[in-house]
Amino acid sequence: MNVVETEHLREYIVFSQTLNYAKAAETLFLSQPTLRAHIRALEEECGASFTVKRSNELILSPAGKFFLKRAREIFKLADETAESCREIAEESASILIGFPEYPYLEDMFIKAREELNEAQQTGLELLFSPRMHANVEAITQQEADVTIYPYTRDYVKRDRVNVPLLPSSVSSIYLGEKECRFWMTKSNPLFEQERISAADLAGSTLLLGNTQNMLSAGPKFQEYFAASGAEIDVDNQPFSSYADYFLTDSRSCFGIILEGHRFESQARKDFRIFTVDDVSVYSDLFLLYDESHLNHVGLELLQKIKEQHGVATA
């Protein structure tokens, strides 16, 4: 039966209490013709009449009594199912995680889930997004439930943690620091060069995404290279996924990638990950989330991650 017919079952149960169309229609806030039409539709589907008239009064036929019994069973099962679903929902969560392509971060989430399940049985589903969600917008626009957010350190403050300014609705957990690596494709003339310095990249273009943190990161990288005597350009482009970013092929461009990143491009013969001898850039990693978009299971998962790192929210 479809949704409308299921509602018809409820109407039939109400009607059976009085076997009076006028009273039942009033109780159900329906017109009598509508109620009659709905019950007639049930009778036609079953191929049986649910009522018979005796001494000018309606009584249920044998088929009507059987149908009433089953209708009550169906509604009882529906109520029990709904209650069970509510209970499951209260103790479960499906968490969409942005920017997960680091084995140790995936292990972090899995370990936190295991610890949570040891303490209490929950239904916790972890979903890892391949899209470019390493930004504040992914949280404020509800594109992801939590995301890993790399925040490049300023050159003048390169020896200390750089805490980002976040919207009041967004909370963060500090996960540590990672050194930036760089990448290029085989079309770049420097691809086969054993060691690369800032001077080798002078005049090249650093390719970045166009999210707010990447727009702010561009000038920071220019400052790092300038400190080593090299000027580079920055090109911020919209990329829908990290695959799109790493597949960009240009003679004059190179990109960034954090140490420990796992990506299929690393196995490509035309793709190289490298360090720059005289440029050392670190990014601080934060886990971003909006408490109002997570239920207690999701928040308990994050609490386990806080315990793992021994840090409070930033």
Q: How is the chain split into domains, by residue range?
A: 3-89, 92-304
Task: Return the structure tokens found at 55.
Answer: 């001494």
Could you tell me the fold of the domain covering 92-304?
A: D-Maltodextrin-Binding Protein; domain 2 (3.40.190)
Instruction: Work out the end-to-end distance of the chain between its first and last CA atoms, rounded to an integer number of angstroms.
Output: 53
Ordered alpha helix ranges (H), the chain = 3-18, 21-28, 32-46, 62-90, 103-119, 137-140, 212-227, 242-246, 296-309
The model carries a pTM of 0.75
Looking up tokens 């929210």, which residue turns up?
313
CB 153 within 8 A of CB 284: yes
For residue 246, what are the contacts with CB-CB under 8 A and spacing of at least 6?
A: 183, 255, 257, 263, 265, 271
DSSP 210-262: -SHHHHHHHHHHHHHHHHTT---EEEEE--SBHHHHHT---TTEEEEEETT--
pLDDT by residue for the chain (314 residues), tens digit each?
Answer: 554 478 899 999 999 999 999 999 999 999 999 999 999 999 999 999 999 998 888 999 999 999 999 999 998 898 888 888 887 777 888 899 998 778 888 899 999 999 988 887 778 899 998 888 989 999 999 999 999 999 999 999 999 999 999 999 999 999 999 999 999 999 999 999 999 999 999 999 999 999 999 999 999 999 999 999 999 999 999 998 888 898 888 899 999 999 887 755 556 789 999 999 999 999 999 999 999 999 999 999 999 999 988 765 44
Q: Does 3.30.365.10 match the CATH number of domain 3-89?
A: no
CA Rg, the chain, in Å?
A: 31
